[in-house]
Chain A
Amino acid sequence: MKPSPSATFHPVSAPDFLPREQLQALQLQRLKSMVQRAYDHVALFRKRMNDLGLKPADVRTLDDVTRLPFTVKADLRDTYPFGLFASPMKDIVRLHASTGTTGKPIVVAYTREDIGVWENVIMRSFAACGLHAGDIIQNAYGYGLFTGGLGAHYGAEALGATVIPISGGNTQRQLMVMKDFGATAICCTPSYFLHIIEQAPELGVNLKELALRAGVFGAEPWTEAMRRRIEAESGIKAYDIYGLSEIIGPGVATECQCQAGPHIFEDWFYPEIIDLKTLKPLPDGEEGELVLTTLGKQAMPMIRYRTRDITALTSEKCECGRTLRRIQRIGRRSDDMFIIRGVNVYPSQIETALLQVEGTLPHYQIILTRVRDLDEVEVQVEVTKKIFGDTVGALEQVQRNLGHSIESLTGLRMKVRMVQPQTIQRSEGKAKRVIDQRKM
């Protein structure tokens, strides 16, 4: 492992070390004004609170959060595109969007202040990973509607680091730039970095000889085994960054140099863990669904947003001295959505694709595997009378059409396999559409 320069304390990280009482006082103050803002400007929140007989003034303590109604992804879809905005468009300086199930994306908005908060948490993320001014950060997250690219970009610049805004893809160029520009850190999905690791020898690059010493990886679930492999094969330190567009983008939580689970930036995001069945809050240490409330978002406040990510909060003191609680590595989700190579995919997208080609919905199943640490998706489709002919060419054409249709809806290439009718297991009620065989 390459020596990391002695960690210098960056003033931006100060809130990471606030005594808990001070942090909680700050949280409560921000929570109150956020709830007021959401109530005043967002019809959905106002209606939901009124239905429960709640007024913003009823939020007197942090525990009162649990009296507020949940928000779910469908709310963003139902109010598409701008229905949850709490600011007029003249105050909104940026829009981002993520993929939705029916082709309609989910839109998120930022005021100038929100961009500042985002910069702040990304700066603190990088600082927690031991990066500072003078570092050269190769940003291989995709730039565009996806929050990853621009989110990391602004924070890296604000930190004073040099950003290489290379965006995703073109591995050969990534390696050339990494070597020639002397990048000291990289941000991308962990699976993409593994791809870079695999390509490096073929392109004559020895990662261990480069200046690269840290990777800030996120936007998809990954494992300790992947971390070990990345570190062993590239000689860098690999850190986990967590986030979601609905809350802000990357930077909701990030690991410190202890690599002991991402610290949630609790001064901006209020975390709860709820029981999946009762929806009641669970104490620290118990596993459930992560629910987040934004404490500083102006353009699009989010009250008790159900992330569908399964994790647990830990309040055990971290060796780094941060008082921020940590979440466990996120390996699974409570709904059928799955994340492949950093892209959110819903079974309903696959259904739409199958419907487009076949006219009716065949029985199907999605099998997720991880081959050499890279995610693979296979869509198994039962052959129906409608599509089955007696020539190989005709069926192979159907297979190709299904593949194209899936790719155009999800942006991902998936393997399509035709299987014998009646071979995909039927279950009562909700069909088990996704079989995740990835070892998390």
Chain B
Amino acid sequence: MKLKQLSLFLENRPGALSRPMRLLAKAGFNILTLSIADANQFGILRLILRDWEKAKKLLEKNGFVVRITDMVAVEVPDQPGGLAKILAVVEKAGLNVEFMYAFTEKRENKGILVFRFDDPDRAIKILQQRKVNVVASVELLKQEAA
């Protein structure tokens, strides 16, 4: 169910982002989605890609500190209030969202959001109980390949 996210530490200076991107591009990795969190002095690049294990090895070999985190992908109806509804479920269940970002890919009339919960297993269980469509990672990655 869970989706693997790679996060990388970046210094806050020109060119910090392009180096890992060039590395991944050269090795033929396709990035499904990404997000950047920035603080005053540094940034954190978060990536979701299919071949995450190989990507991690490549980045580490090139001196990056890489962390793997479990994410939960959720289908959201692409209409007003679609996200609000899911967030209401999250809030009611007392699930703590560290951060979230969207998948660039849409399917039919639905968007896909990626959530970072502090307890992903519990989150999946609760979301499924409340009829929120948690997207299986296999399905997501496969679909992208098709």
Contacts and interface: CB of A to CB of B under 8 A. Distances in A.
Interface in A367-425: 383-385, 388-392, 395-396, 399, 417-423
Given A391-B98, A395-B42, A419 B63 contact: no
Given A396-B39, A418-B41, A389 B11 contact: no
Given A395-B44, A418-B9, A383 B65 contact: yes
B85 to A, nearest CB: 26
Interface in B49-88: 63-67, 69
A395 B65 contact: no
Q: Which of A391, A418, A419, A423 has the most CB of B within 10 A?
A: A391
Contacts of A418: 9, 11, 41-42
Interface string B1-18: 000010101110000100
Contacts of A396: 39
Nearest to A390: B7
B39 A395 contact: yes
Given A391-B98, A392-B44, A420 B63 contact: yes
Interface residues of B, number: 22
Contacts of B67: 385, 388-390
B65 A390 contact: no
B44 A420 contact: no
Contact of A417 (B7, B41, B66): B41
B125 to A, nearest CB: 22
A388 B66 CA distance: 8
**Which residue, of A388, A419, A423, has the highest number of chain B Cβ atoms within 10 A?**
A388
A383 B98 contact: no
A423 B63 CA distance: 9
Contacts of A420: 9-11, 16, 63-64
Given A390-B7, A418-B42, A420-B9, A384 B69 contact: no
A252 to B, nearest CB: 41
Contacts of A388: 7, 9, 65, 67
A156 B72 CA distance: 72
Contacts of A384: 65
Given A385-B67, A421-B63, A422-B63, A390 B5 contact: yes
Contacts of B41: 399, 417-418
Nearest to A415: B41
Contacts of B42: 383, 395, 418
A196 B5 CA distance: 52
Contacts of B44: 390-392, 395
Interface in A337-353: none
Nearest to B63: A422
Contact of B99 (A391, A395, A422): A391
Contact of A390 (B10, B63, B64, B69): B69
Contact of A391 (B11, B16, B37): B37
A111 B41 CA distance: 52
A421 B65 contact: yes
B4 to A, nearest CB: 11
A391 B99 CA distance: 8
A384 B16 CA distance: 17
A424 to B, nearest CB: 12
Nearest to B64: A421
Contacts of B9: 383, 388, 395, 418, 420-421
Contacts of B11: 418-420, 423
Contacts of B116: 390-391
Contacts of A391: 37, 44, 98-99, 116
Contacts of B46: 390
Give the interface centre of A390, A391, A417 by most chain B CB atoms within 10 Å.
A390
Contacts of B7: 388-390
A263 to B, nearest CB: 46
A51 B16 CA distance: 59
Contacts of A399: 41
Contacts of B16: 420
Nearest to B19: A420
B18 to A, nearest CB: 13
Interface of A: 383-385, 388-392, 395-396, 399, 417-423
Interface of B: 5, 7, 9-11, 16, 37-39, 41-42, 44, 46, 63-67, 69, 98-99, 116
6 contacts: A385-B66, A388-B67, A389-B7, A391-B99, A392-B44, A420-B11
When A and B form their complex, which 4 residue pairs have the shortest distance between CB atoms, in order from nearest? A390-B7, A422-B63, A383-B9, A392-B39
Given A388-B7, A391-B99, A392-B44, 19 more contacts: A383-B42, A388-B67, A389-B7, A390-B5, A390-B44, A390-B46, A390-B67, A390-B69, A390-B98, A391-B44, A392-B39, A395-B42, A395-B44, A399-B41, A418-B11, A420-B11, A420-B16, A420-B63, A421-B9
